[in-house]
Structure 1
Amino acid sequence: MKINKKQIVFFILFSIFLNHVNGIFYLPGMIPHDFAQGEEGAIKVNKITSVHTQIPYKYYQLPGVCQPKEGIIDDTENLGEILLGDRIENSDYTFNFLTDGGKCKVINSESCSPIIKKEDLKVLEDRIQNQYRVHWLLDGLPVRQTGRLASDPGFDLGFMTLAEGQTVATAEKYLNNHLEITIFYHSNPTDNTSRIVGFEIFPTSRQYKKVENWKGDTGDDCPQYGENFEQLSVSVKEGEDQERFVLWTYEVKYTPSPVLWNKRWDIYFESNDNSVHWFSILNSLMIVFILTVMVAMIIIRTLKKDIRRYTSIDTSEDRDSQEETGWKMIHGDVFRPPSHPMLLSVCIGSGVQIFSMTLITMIFAVLGFLSPANIGGLATALIVLFVLSAMFAGYFSTRVFTIFKGRNWKKNTIYTALSMPGIIFGIFFFVNMFLRGAKSSAAVPFGTFASIIAMWFGISVPLVFLGSYFASKKPVPEDPVRTNQIPRQVPDQIWYMNPYLSILMGGILPFGAVFIELHFILTSLWDNQFYYIFGFLFIVLMILIVTSAEISIVMCYFQLCAEDHHWWWRSFLTAGSSSLYMFIYSVSFFRYLGITKFISSLLDFSYSFIMSLAFAALTGTIGFYSCYFLVRKIYSSIHIN
């Protein structure tokens, strides 16, 4: 069946319509749950995180936390959740919907000792000093702290009080052991059921009066706590009591809300200032406009004038003028293969793979198929699409290698299949050893590593060879001009055409086009915030593609006019150098986070390097193909004797 453009457009619009209409279409895992009055529900616990360490831990790794009576049961997790350190587990924080409001309860007091010793208090003190936040889930909604921005999920594990002359290390630390839980619900009057549309917690610190041999004698009710509402300090000083009596308590409140179920995520994104994103896009569009004017002047005015001059042999004046323009004089060297052709073709293949992964992911995200309720869904989609896009890497890598007159395409294919995935896997494996040593929840288990390796060698590598095989069977495109046997010497270049300087100058504009959006992405990544404004990101991606292509075309034309025929690598590096600025900016985010631990610094440096490497391959590939099509076009438009 043949599908035309109108059918494709209709399908896209229909998908968007279904995704935004309540009750008609729900994505997998997004079916609403209707709660009846008195129905029992339970809160899921996740990890604890800190912006100052970037090392997440499981919730039940906290000392003194009571585990569920039936034991810890892990939810089935996708690959993205495991890599991000999410560990969703059950808890004894239960409720009976709309019937137990305002009743204070003690968490599973019989299964854990309420006495916390000095060693465990030190751990809690360290977690509070590093401002760890607790992440829970209820009906798929992440918890947010009352009075805080909803885009900053989780609630504070504790807090500090700084007296005059005290530092953070010596400040008194208090543990938030009592939680006031507020569940917002939207009622359906037709069947007397309700849907949960909000989940907030107001954490407080309570020093309950110590009861010897506490066994939960008062049942579910909370015991009386200290006079004058004393707070629970976990700071242990010499000469003081070396242990604390800690009870974990909570109470649930229910608040009706006019928010519809399909709009319950809106509050998590309200803090995003769209005016800043629009300013970023307008700023980038100005860059694109200036570059477009420059490219138009080159293509329409200069090149056409040059081509008319070269094809005219009417007067000696025209023949003399040919000697004044440089790009025709290097026609015998412009298609000479570059140095290290296999390395460049591997970089191009990896760039096409990353470009395909990014573009497909963005299309699905814009259509609404990557819901924030699906934790780890975005990371899983990126990994799966990266593996499946390996066929494009093999095809385009071999295709470019044959254009370079390369012979051993099988060796080139092996390098393509192992280089970029190998670098990423090697860095990730090295970092994971430190995370495992820190007992972080972000440490990837052996089984997950085995799955990643199986995807790499079982799916990705065969797809690279499949793409390379198809590319090797296609005829090599013939160059529009012949290549001389003896290379032409490149004349001395003016200072601003120095290769290093021109490459660094070329990367400024692509980086400037994504600079502001990059700030939001890094903030979301390192501050554990939500980033799901894919509409803006898709526009920025399109601007990045155009900017990288146009700056490469402009710099490539100037290089050819300067009679420098070594344009292959420079076309890739001109746009790809924007990754250098991205890496510098990403690492400088280190100061904003206030990181002091070595493992945290290693995480920041390693992940910034991986992101910058992928960005270099993406933008460099765009620049390479832009210059390649330009060079073929202009040299096929003139007649060479």
Structure 2
Amino acid sequence: MRFTASAAFALAASLLSPLSASAFYLPGTAPRDYLPGERIDVFVNTLTPMLNSKLRSLISHDYYDERFHFCQPEGGPVKQPESLGSILFGDRILTSPYEINMMENSTCQLLCRSSVPKDDAKFINDRIKEDYGLNFIVDGLPSSEMKRDSKTGEIFLDAQGFNLGDDETIPDKPALNNHYDIYIQYHARDANHFRVVGVLVYPRTVDSMVAGSMSPDCFATQNLYLSEATDNEFFYTYSVSFIPSDVPWGLRWDAYLHVFDPKIHWFSLINSLVIVGFLVFMVAMVLYRTISKDISRYNAIDLSEEVQEDYGWKLVHGEVFRLPNRPMVLSVMVGNGAHLVMMCIVTLVFALFGFLSPSNRGSLATVLLICWTLFGCVGGYASARTYATVGGDQWKPNLVLTAVLFPTVIFSVIGLLNLFLIGASASGAVPFGTILAILLLWFLISAPLSVAGYFYGMKHGAFTNPVRVASIPRQIPPKPRYLHTVQAAILGGILPFGAAFVELYFVLSSLFGNRAYYAFGFLFLTFLVVVLTTATVTVLFVYFILCAEEYRWHWRSFMIGGGSAFWLFAYGVWYWASRLSLDSFTSVVLYFGYLFLFSLLNFLLGGSIGFVASYFAIRRLYASIRVD
């Protein structure tokens, strides 16, 4: 999974696939049998920065960027068809000049003779210092290197790509990797039919030019260093070896689907489950015992008496359903948050049934975009019923804002980030045709569905409040400092964030570090824990607020529910300071732009959960008492 400007559509979702790395999946393509000597196509993808010790850039480059001077096929490279999600996540797949035939080993094959001017040599050297990697695709499998997990001892295929060069041999003097040892793992169905089940590429640097000879020497011992003072001439070469494998085609992705630090995932998940279980139990016991006593005491009072001594949360029964400030904005935010929640849930269901196959590139982003488009009706429905419940009557502007406000904000930020990508000549810049397709999905499908959902919500009308609103507002007494809006939101966001922060580290490494993330089962369970924690903590804080005779709970419940966004952004800043070393201004702008979008979507999602949970808890609470 790689992160580009339009991949922000998938932020809310870093969602969810099977729990184990070797779980069942539905293949994205049918298996292909190769005959001996049959050509195997090698496609090239974008060059992306690799997350080794620290990530140094967020800008990807086209493989055939003229500054790299890579070898091109005869007649020029041909672009391969890609899904919308694949394009959004930065894939730019093209043909290559590599000639690989099934079961035919080759050594020191000449690819081409390349000429690199001194100005472009500096560009290449800078990319080597930033740990850029190349990405090949063979029979749908990404190029990889075989590695051993130092913590588990498990051997796996790391599909992060392979290094453009080596900058560790001599400090400040990077060497270009111009020879590639390609190993194709195959599974034999019979003597004449073979299937590709693994692709390994090991690059190395070699100054293979021999004076007076047009043939390369791939076994020379000298490294290839590009001079930034003069023009450079050198060979690109490769070797191919076929390795038999007992792994059948249907299980070939198992070696790629490696979960790093599984004990940490399990520890984090179990720790979160224990915390949320204890939290829910304690909150339930406190609220049940306290509220039960309050309800019994209130209901025991004789309503025929002229004087009633109300106190606590019952004292504000005439104010609790009073119209909040800016009800239109609140309902729009609740509607968009419900839209995101539904999008996450449905994508999760698809992933759990194995429909998001890793062999179908971009399937996650594609499903997210489709769900975002189709579930505009949910956002319209939730916004309409919320607006009617809080007493709003200007339904026309509310309808328009529900359909366009936050999509406009998100598209504007993405468009601005896309301009930075275009200015940096990055391959992750979204093509105009893709932008047009997304806008058409928005205007022609999502917005009309939002309107339809809104009218359906208006048909159902407002939820019935169990108590009437007093004609004269009560005076609000001073309340504890920790119940003020900002302080309560920050405090309330600690527990939901704490339940997810370990998993968040792996998600950020995937989104920004071009590292595949396959622990979606852990992420699914973490998502459920976060939802339950958010709802529970928000209801608890709203109860404290009502006991303090503060009846303006609507915005506070939304802010408390979305309070984890503050900690998410703060964690993102820490991650940038500790794990990233972004040298260019463009990369820094991109990182914080993506982080802002991620936090905004998290705020809407958590806020809607907190508001809905609080409303129905309050509705149930005040329906349990007798009020004159």
Q: Give 1:387-406 correspondences, 5 Å limit.
A: 387-406=373-392
| Cα drift, residue 258 of structure 1 | 1.7
Helix, strand or coil: the match of 1:206? coil
Residues 343 and 372 of structure 2 are in contact (CA less than 8 Å); yes or no, is this contact kept in structure 1? yes
Q: 1:625 to 1:26 in 2, by over 3 A?
A: closer
| Cα drift, residue 319 of structure 1 | 7.8
> Is structure 2 residue 533 aligned with structure 1 residue 547?
yes
Give the counterpart of 1:297 among 249, 263, 285: 285
Helix, strand or coil: the match of 1:549? helix
Helix, strand or coil: the match of 1:246? strand
Gaps of 5+ in 2: 1-16, 50-54, 149-155
Q: 1:201 to 1:367 in 2, by over 3 A?
A: same
| Cα drift, residue 546 of structure 1 | 0.6
| Counterpart in the other structure of 2:228 | 236
Q: 1:115 to 1:474 in 2, by over 3 A?
A: closer
CA distance in 1, matches of 2:397, 2:303: 52
CA distance in 1, matches of 2:623, 2:554: 18
**Pairs aligned (count):** 596
Answer with 1 or 2: which has the greater Rg.
Answer: 1
Q: Give 1:180-199 correspondences, 5 Å limit.
A: 180-189=181-190, 192-199=192-199
Residues 295 and 553 of structure 1 are in contact (CA less than 8 Å); yes or no, is this contact kept in structure 2? no
Q: Give 1:276-295 correspondences, 5 Å limit.
A: 276-295=264-283
| Counterpart in the other structure of 1:6 | none
> Is structure 2 residue 56 aligned with structure 1 residue 52?
yes
Residues 258 and 518 of structure 2 are in contact (CA less than 8 Å); yes or no, is this contact kept in structure 1? no
| Counterpart in the other structure of 1:413 | 399
Residues 208 and 245 of structure 1 are in contact (CA less than 8 Å); yes or no, is this contact kept in structure 2? no
| Counterpart in the other structure of 2:510 | 524
Give the counterpart of 2:74 among 69, 75, 83: 69
CA distance in 2, matches of 1:235, 1:144: 29
Helix, strand or coil: the match of 1:563? coil
Give the counterpart of 2:607 among 601, 620, 624: 620
CA distance in 2, matches of 1:454, 1:93: 39
> Is structure 2 residue 466 aligned with structure 1 residue 476?
no
| Counterpart in the other structure of 1:158 | 165
> Is structure 2 residue 108 aligned with structure 1 residue 104?
yes
> Is structure 2 residue 248 aligned with structure 1 residue 260?
yes
Q: 1:20 to 1:143 in 2, by over 3 A?
A: closer
> Is structure 2 residue 174 aligned with structure 1 residue 173?
yes
| Cα drift, residue 147 of structure 1 | 4.7
Letter in 1 for 2:47: I
Q: 1:164-202 deviations in whole A, cap 9, x for unaligned?
A: xx5xxxx1111111111011111113x631211111111
Helix, strand or coil: the match of 1:370? coil
| Cα drift, residue 260 of structure 1 | 2.0
CA distance in 2, matches of 1:479, 1:360: 31
Gaps of 5+ in 1: 1-14
| Counterpart in the other structure of 1:223 | 216
Q: 1:503 to 1:225 in 2, by over 3 A?
A: closer
TM-score, scaled relative to structure 2? 0.91
Q: Which stretch shows the higher mean deviation, 575-584 or 264-273? A: 264-273
Helix, strand or coil: the match of 1:114? strand
Q: 1:531-552 deviations in whole A, cap 9, x for unaligned?
A: 1222111111111111011001
Q: 1:65 to 1:180 in 2, by over 3 A?
A: same
Q: Give 1:1-400 correspondences, 5 Å limit.
A: 26-27=26-27, 29-50=28-49, 51-61=55-65, 62-99=67-104, 101-107=105-111, 109=112, 114-147=114-147, 150-161=157-168, 163=170, 171-189=172-190, 192-209=192-209, 222-224=215-217, 229-237=221-229, 242-313=230-301, 322-323=309-310, 325-400=311-386
CA distance in 2, matches of 1:64, 1:311: 83
CA distance in 2, matches of 1:192, 1:21: 30
TM-score, scaled relative to structure 1? 0.89
Q: Give 1:500-511 correspondences, 5 Å limit.
A: 500-511=486-497
Residues 108 and 218 of structure 2 are in contact (CA less than 8 Å); yes or no, is this contact kept in structure 1? no
Helix, strand or coil: the match of 2:317? coil
CA distance in 1, matches of 2:118, 2:464: 77
| Cα drift, residue 150 of structure 1 | 3.0
| Cα drift, residue 162 of structure 1 | 5.7
| Cα drift, residue 618 of structure 1 | 0.7
| Counterpart in the other structure of 1:12 | none
Q: 1:255 to 1:319 in 2, by over 3 A?
A: farther
Residues 386 and 462 of structure 2 are in contact (CA less than 8 Å); yes or no, is this contact kept in structure 1? no
Q: 1:483-532 deviations in whole A, cap 9, x for unaligned?
A: 01111111111233233222211110011111111111001111111112
Residues 576 and 617 of structure 1 are in contact (CA less than 8 Å); yes or no, is this contact kept in structure 2? yes
CA distance in 2, matches of 1:521, 1:255: 34
| Cα drift, residue 296 of structure 1 | 1.7
| Cα drift, residue 317 of structure 1 | 12
CA distance in 1, matches of 2:107, 2:339: 56
CA distance in 2, matches of 1:116, 1:80: 34
Asked which structure has the greater RCO (Cα within 8 Å, sep 6+), the reply is 2
CA distance in 2, matches of 1:523, 1:534: 14
Q: 1:435 to 1:344 in 2, by over 3 A?
A: same
Residues 309 and 318 of structure 1 are in contact (CA less than 8 Å); yes or no, is this contact kept in structure 2? no
Residues 210 and 245 of structure 1 are in contact (CA less than 8 Å); yes or no, is this contact kept in structure 2? no
| Counterpart in the other structure of 2:584 | 597
Q: 1:535-576 deviations in whole A, cap 9, x for unaligned?
A: 111111111111011001111111111111010111111120
Helix, strand or coil: the match of 1:58? coil
| Cα drift, residue 577 of structure 1 | 0.8
